[in-house]
Amino acid sequence: MFQRDFSLEPRPRGFHLVTREVEAALPELEQFGIGLLHLMIRHTSASLTLNENASPDVRTDFRTWVDAAVPEDPSEYRWTHTLEGPDDMPAHLKGSLTGFELTLPIREGRLHLGTWQGIYLCEHHDHGGPRSLTATGWGETRQS
């Protein structure tokens, strides 16, 4: 079992594939034959999701849908929580829609994702800064 905190580089608003970055930050995965990895992002204006990793169109369509579902335009909604700007409350709502955690299988020292699956950092602020995650892994150690 292990628990590790790590950060993802700052990214602009959008949906960003971070699977390789997550795996690189967690060398402890190599010890497991089978197990689970729980990832939690420690922010309320960014989130995590698992989805298709091949076509960049998916990332564009995700952003289009999320921005339409939770608009920032004050003529649409009268947000009262705007301490960090007009995208503050919409960012929190978008995070709740997409989720702050993932639980993923580990097999033979690597994440056991589907062929076309990847981990996304969903950045909901225009300039969110580095994003902190906590990873907790547990399972059976690999047989030599």
* 99-141 pLDDT tens trace: 999 999 999 999 999 999 999 999 999 888 999 999 999 999 9
User: Is 43 within the bounds of a domain?
Assistant: yes
The CATH number given to whatever domain includes residue 98 is 2.60.120.460
pTM beyond 0.95: no
Domain range spanning residue 74?
Answer: 2-139
Q: Which CA distances in Å does 71 have to 22, 63, 64, 67, 84?
A: 30, 11, 10, 6, 16
User: Is 144 within the bounds of a domain?
Assistant: no
User: How many structural domains comprise the chain?
Assistant: 1
